[in-house]
A and B are shown apart, each in its own frame.
Chain A
Amino acid sequence: MPDHEFDKALGEKARELRLQPSPAVWEGVAAQLQEKKRRRGAAWFLMAAAVAGLSLGGWWLAERHSPQEGHQQVVTTNPDQQAATTGSSATAKTAGENSNAADSRDVASNQPESINANSVTNSDAGTGSDAAGNAADNTTDNAVTKRRINNHNTTAYRSTVHNQMKSAAGITTGSATAKTSRKQQGNTGNTPGIDQSADNYGATILTENSVPRVPEAFAGQLPLQGKQSIAVQQPKSKTGNIRPGNLPATTISLKEKTNRKWQYSFEASAGVSTLNEQPFSGYKADQMEYQQNSSLASNGLAVIQRNPSEIKGGFSFQAKVLAHKPISSKLRLGTGIQYSYRSSQVKMGKVVDSTFALYNIGQDRILSALAYAGGTANKGKDFTNSYHYLEVPLELSWNIDRRKHWYFNNGVSLGYLVKSDALLYDKDGGVYYRDNDALNRWQAGFFSSIQYNINPKSDMQVALGPSIQYQLTPVDLTTDRKHLLHLGFSARLQWVRQSRGAMK
Chain B
Amino acid sequence: MTNEQQLVRDCLKGKPSAQKMLYEQFASQMLGVCYRYTKSVTDAEDVLQEGFIKVFHYLAQFRGEGDLGAWIRRIMVTTAINYLKKNAKYQYDLSFTGEEKGYLHPVSPDNPEVSLSAKELSDLIRQLPPGYQAIFNLHAVEGYTHVEISSMLGIHEGTSRSQYARARNLLITWLQQESEPVNLAHYARS
Which chain A residues have a beta carbon within 8 Å of chain B's beta carbons? 1, 3, 6-7, 9-11, 13-22, 24-26, 28-30, 32-33, 36-37, 291, 293-304, 355-364, 428-429, 437-438, 477
Known: A293-B154, A297-B159. A355 touches B14 (CB 8 A): no
Q: Which residues of chain B have C-beta atoms less than 8 A from A437's C-beta?
A: 61, 63
Q: Which residues of chain A have C-beta atoms less than 8 A from B182's C-beta?
A: none
Q: Can you give 20 contacting A-B residue pairs, CB < 8 Å?
A: A7-B139, A9-B112, A9-B114, A10-B121, A13-B116, A14-B36, A14-B140, A15-B32, A17-B121, A17-B122, A19-B31, A19-B41, A32-B53, A293-B85, A294-B154, A296-B155, A298-B96, A298-B155, A298-B163, A361-B75
Give a binary string over B122-161; 1 marks a CB under 8 Å from any A CB, 0 the rest. 1001000011001001011111000110111111100100
Most buried by A among B36, B49, B54, B66: B49
B151 touches A33 (CB 8 A): no
Q: Tell me, rounded to whole Å, the shortest Cβ–Cβ distance linking B146 to chain A.
A: 11
Closest B residue to A299 using CB positions:
B95
B28 touches A19 (CB 8 A): yes
The 3 A-B pairs at the shortest CB distance, nearest first, are namely A293-B154, A17-B32, A16-B118
Q: Which residues of chain A have C-beta atoms less than 8 A from B142's C-beta?
A: 11
Q: Which residues of chain B have C-beta atoms less than 8 A from A296's C-beta?
A: 84-85, 90-91, 130-131, 134, 153-155
What range describes how many residues of B lie at the interface?
Answer: 35 or more
A359 touches B155 (CB 8 A): no
Which of B14, B49, B154 touches A25 (beta carbons < 8 Å)? Answer: B49
B78 touches A359 (CB 8 A): yes
B109 touches A25 (CB 8 A): no
B122 touches A303 (CB 8 A): no
Known: A14-B121, A303-B154. A30 touches B20 (CB 8 A): yes
Closest A residue to B114 using CB positions:
A9
A359 touches B122 (CB 8 A): no
Q: Tell me, rounded to whole Å, the shortest Cβ–Cβ distance linking A365 to chain B.
A: 8
Q: Is B9 interfacial (CB-CB < 8 Å)?
A: no
Q: Tell me, rounded to whole Å, the shortest Cβ–Cβ distance linking A62 to chain B.
A: 40
Contacts beyond the supplied A3-B109, A304-B155: 10 A-B pairs with Cβ under 8 Å: A10-B114, A13-B116, A14-B121, A19-B32, A24-B45, A29-B19, A296-B91, A297-B155, A301-B159, A355-B147
Known: A355-B147, A477-B58. A304 touches B154 (CB 8 A): yes
CA–CA, A1 to B163, complex, Å? 22
Closest A residue to B95 using CB positions:
A299
A25 touches B27 (CB 8 A): yes
Restricting to B40-84, which residues have a CB under 8 Å from any CB of A? 41, 44-45, 48-49, 52-54, 56-58, 60-61, 63, 66, 74-75, 78, 82, 84
A29 touches B156 (CB 8 A): no
A293 touches B153 (CB 8 A): yes
Q: Tell me, rounded to whole Å, the shortest Cβ–Cβ distance linking B152 to chain A.
A: 4
CA–CA, A428 to B152, complex, Å? 6
A1 touches B148 (CB 8 A): no
Q: Which residues of chain B have C-beta atoms less than 8 A from A3's C-beta?
A: 109
Q: Which residues of chain B have C-beta atoms less than 8 A from A303's C-beta?
A: 154-155
Most buried by B among A17, A22, A295, A301: A17
Q: Tell me, rounded to whole Å, the shortest Cβ–Cβ distance linking A323 to chain B.
A: 33
Q: Tell me, rounded to whole Å, the shortest Cβ–Cβ distance linking A298 to chain B.
A: 6
A298 touches B94 (CB 8 A): yes
A360 touches B78 (CB 8 A): yes
Closest A residue to B86 using CB positions:
A295
Q: Which residues of chain A have C-beta atoms less than 8 A from B90's C-beta?
A: 295-296
CA–CA, A293 to B61, complex, Å? 26
Q: Tell me, rounded to whole Å, the shortest Cβ–Cβ distance linking A229 to chain B.
A: 54
Q: Tell me, rounded to whole Å, the shortest Cβ–Cβ distance linking A202 to chain B.
A: 52
B171 touches A361 (CB 8 A): no
Known: A24-B45, A358-B151. A11 touches B143 (CB 8 A): yes
CA–CA, A263 to B129, complex, Å? 73
Q: Which residues of chain A have C-beta atoms less than 8 A from B24's C-beta?
A: 26
Q: Tell me, rounded to whole Å, the shortest Cβ–Cβ distance linking B74 to chain A.
A: 6
Closest A residue to B163 using CB positions:
A298
Closest B residue to A437 using CB positions:
B61
Q: Which residues of chain B have C-beta atoms less than 8 A from A477's C-beta?
A: 57-58, 60-61
B84 touches A11 (CB 8 A): no
Closest A residue to B16 using CB positions:
A30
Q: Which residues of chain A have C-beta atoms less than 8 A from B35's C-beta?
A: 17, 19
Most buried by B among A14, A21, A298, A302: A14
Q: Which residues of chain B have C-beta atoms less than 8 A from A300's C-beta?
A: 95
Which of B19, B112, B148 touches A33 (beta carbons < 8 Å)? Answer: B19
Most buried by B among A24, A297, A363: A297
Q: Which residues of chain B have C-beta atoms less than 8 A from A362's C-beta?
A: 58, 61
Q: Which residues of chain A have C-beta atoms less than 8 A from B49's C-beta?
A: 25, 28-29, 32
A20 touches B121 (CB 8 A): no
Known: A295-B84, A297-B153, A363-B74. A6 touches B52 (CB 8 A): no
Q: Tell me, rounded to whole Å, the shortest Cβ–Cβ distance linking B131 to chain A.
A: 5
CA–CA, A356 to B95, complex, Å? 24
Q: Which residues of chain B have C-beta atoms less than 8 A from A363's C-beta?
A: 74
Which of A6, A19, A37, A298 touches B93 (beta carbons < 8 Å)? Answer: A298
